[in-house]
Amino acid sequence: MAKLFYWIAPVYTGLIIYFSISDSPAPSVNINNIDKLYHGGAYFIMALLWYFFFYSRFLTQQSHFKFTWKDMVTAWSRTIAIAAAVFSFLIGVIVEFAQEYIAVNRTMDFIDAVANTIGIILAITLIWLLSKRFNTYS
């Protein structure tokens, strides 16, 4: 399980960075500001993946037993959640600056950064709520 998170979080983040800076836009949909939903969803997933990445790295350094994603959610870690949120936020800010100063046909948008942040907050809140639920009924 830990090896899965070693690869999936960095690869997913790399793909987000690549597609955010590349010249190929997302498919066109005739809904105003739909890209903000894309941003929120992408960073929601990114924050979840980095939470599990950091937690699995921590557990492999601290213990020699097998663990699952449920173990990582049940044993909520505020420190790991903050690390995942800050890391995801910084990636989002760097991508926005890269869109302004490096990418062709892309521009920085403050509202995109807000959508990214909302996605991150929702992901961390979801993990926290799940930890409360699992701890109540276990």
Closest CA to 71 of 82, 79, 60: 60
pLDDT of residue 16: 94
pLDDT of residue 138: 46
74, with CB counted inside 10 A (0-12, 13-18, 19+), is middle
CB 1 within 8 A of CB 67: yes
Q: Structure tokens of 62?
A: 């601290």
Helix axes 110-137, 34-62, angle to 10 degrees: 50
Q: Structure tokens of 129?
A: 């709520």
pLDDT of residue 98: 92
pLDDT of residue 70: 77
Q: Domain coordinates of the chain in residue numbers?
A: 2-20+39-137
Within the chain, which residues score under 50 in pLDDT? 138
Amino acid at 68: T
Per-residue burial over 22-49, b if 16 or more Cβ lie within 10 Å, else e, is eeeeeeeeeeeeebbebbbebbbbbbbb
pLDDT of residue 31: 76
pLDDT of residue 125: 96
Q: What are phi and psi of 86, to 5 degrees?
A: -65, -45
